[in-house]
């Protein structure tokens, strides 16, 4: 029987992260899945649900605390992995958050919303990746994934028709601008920053065996922006399970020809698009 790969995914208790855990748990490839969750109780509930939905598995799954906004949490997490397993084969940086809704409603100031977005989506990812790198180097086939977003594309900010109108259509002239629908400005800026972070790790690891990817899983009904999954489906969002399976494909080597790039799973024929 093949040895289990040690795999850590942050934000694994809900949304796309949960679907990625589910796809990996259902795989024939055996994993030791470390489901990262800010709250242990939420991770435990996710595992209960997972085992109801996937009755048999070659893998094991357990919850670990992974609060990407806390250095102390991340240091404790990595030290625990080192003590128990001595290595890490796959790191999936999936945890992310959007604070644009809180900004729009007045619950957060511009500075508060942007600082929270960058701290969670970029700074926390960089801290964890740096801390985990020695463990990845102890793997024979290490992989490093950054989960990005189609909203982060610099090219597609020029597109304002079809599904892109929701993000890119210009509002009426005048100030202040009224009635902006589903604003994602701070969120998408952080994901653009995350893309550059991925490219920096590609450069840093160019002469090392770590395979690095950014994964853009498509427009999924995760409810991340506070809209709600059902409402997102009404405007064209797909089942998050599609994104989870796509992440599994990248983990299992089915997109290795796109190593070091942003790999997309959406309506484009070419899975790699200029950003």
So which residues are the catalytic ones? 149, 187, 191
Look up residue 155 and give its DSSP letter: G
Give the 3-state secondary structure of residue 250.
Answer: helix
């Amino acid at each position: 029987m093949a040895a289990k790969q040690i795999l850590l995914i942050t934000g694994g208790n809900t949304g796309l992260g949960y679907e990625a855990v589910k796809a990996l748990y259902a795989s024939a490839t055996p994993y030791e899945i470390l489901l990262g969750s800010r709250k242990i109780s939420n991770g435990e509930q996710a595992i209960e649900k997972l085992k109801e939905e996937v009755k048999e598995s070659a893998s094991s799954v357990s919850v670990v605390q992974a609060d990407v906004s806390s250095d102390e949490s991340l240091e404790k997490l990595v030290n625990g992995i080192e003590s128990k397993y001595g290595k890490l084969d796959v790191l999936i940086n999936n945890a992310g958050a959007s604070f644009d809704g809180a900004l729009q409603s007045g619950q957060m100031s511009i500075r508060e919303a942007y600082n929270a977005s960058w701290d969670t989506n970029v700074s926390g990812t960089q801290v964890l990746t740096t801390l985990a790198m020695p463990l990845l180097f102890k793997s024979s086939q290490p992989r490093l994934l950054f989960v990005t977003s189609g909203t982060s594309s610099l090219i597609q900010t020029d597109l304002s028709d079809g599904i892109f109108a929701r993000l890119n259509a210009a509002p009426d002239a005048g100030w202040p601008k009224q009635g902006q629908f589903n604003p994602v400005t701070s969120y998408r800026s952080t994901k653009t920053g995350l893309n550059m972070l991925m490219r920096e790790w590609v450069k840093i690891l160019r002469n090392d065996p770590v395979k690095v990817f950014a994964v853009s899983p498509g427009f999924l009904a995760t409810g991340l922006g506070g809209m709600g999954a059902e409402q997102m489906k009404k405007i064209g969002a797909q089942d998050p399970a599609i994104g989870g399976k796509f992440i599994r494909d990248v983990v299992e080597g089915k997109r290795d020809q796109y190593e070091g790039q942003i790999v997309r799973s959406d309506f484009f024929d070419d899975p790699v698009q200029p950003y």
